[in-house]
Amino acid sequence: MATRPVAESTTGSEPWYARREYSLPRTRLLYLLGLVLFLTAFALFIVVNVALVSSTSSNISLFSLTSTTESVNDANPSVKFGTFGYCLTFVSETPYYSSSSSSSDPDGQCVLDGVGYDPYQVLEEYFSIITDVDGIEASIVRLTRAMAIHPLLAAFSALTVAIAALPCYLPPVLSVATAWVTTVLAVVAVICNFALARKIKESSVPAYNFAYGTAIWCLVAALVCVFIATLLISGVWWSKRKAAAARRVTKMPIGNGDASLHRRDSDLETTVELNELDQDSKKGHAELTGGDKADRHELNDTDDRERSELDGEEKYELDSPRASGRAEMPT
**What pLDDT digit, counting tens, does each position of 119-168 carry?**
777 777 777 665 556 677 778 888 888 888 999 999 999 999 998 888 77
Q: Is 318 exposed, middle or buried (0-12, 13-18, 19+ CB in 10 A)?
A: exposed
**What's the pLDDT band for 118 if we cut at 50, 70, 90?**
confident
In this prediction, residue 239 carries a pLDDT of: 84
Beta strands 96-98 and 109-111: pairing type?
parallel
**What's the pLDDT band for 67 if we cut at 50, 70, 90?**
confident
Provide, rounded to the nearest whole percent, the portion of the chain with pLDDT above 90: 20
Give every strand in the sheet of 96-98, ordered side by side.
96-98, 109-111, 86-90, 77-81, 63-67, 208-212
The answer to whether residues 88 and 111 touch, using CB atoms and an 8 Å cutoff, is yes
Instruction: Give the whole-angstrom CA distance, residue 114 versus residue 127.
Output: 22
Q: Which of 189, 101, 181 is nearest to 145 (CA)?
A: 189
Average pLDDT of every residue of the chain: 70
Greater confidence (261 vs 191) lies with: 191
Backbone angles phi, psi at 183, to 5 degrees: -65, -45
Instruction: Give the whole-angstrom CA distance, residue 145 versus residue 147.
Output: 5
Asked if pLDDT for residue 270 goes beyond 60, the answer is no
Q: Among 33-47, 193-207, 276-290, 313-327, which stretch is predicted with the lowest mean pLDDT?
A: 276-290
Reported pTM: 0.60
Residues 207, 208, 212, CA angle at the centre, nearest 5°? 150
Asked if pLDDT for residue 5 goes beyond 70, the answer is no
HSE on the CB side for 181, CA within 13 Å?
16
Instruction: Give the whole-angstrom CA distance, residue 196 versus residue 310.
Output: 90
In this prediction, residue 229 carries a pLDDT of: 94
Q: Among 78-92, 119-133, 171-185, 300-314, which stretch is predicted with the lowest mean pLDDT?
A: 300-314
Specify the DSSP element, H or E, that contains 45. Answer: helix 25-49
Specify the DSSP element, H or E, that contains 250. Answer: none
Greater confidence (145 vs 104) lies with: 145
In this prediction, residue 221 carries a pLDDT of: 96
Asked if pLDDT for residue 294 goes beyond 50, the answer is no
Instruction: Give the torsion sign (CA, 288, 294, 295, 298).
Output: positive
Beta bridge partners of 66: 78, 209
Give DSSP secondary structure letters for 262-326: EEEETTEEEEEEEEEPPTTS-TTEEEESSSTT--EEE-HHHHHHHHHHHHHHHHHHHHHHHHHHH
Asked if pLDDT for residue 85 goes beyond 60, the answer is yes
What average pLDDT does the segment 77-88 reach?
Answer: 83
Greater confidence (116 vs 257) lies with: 116
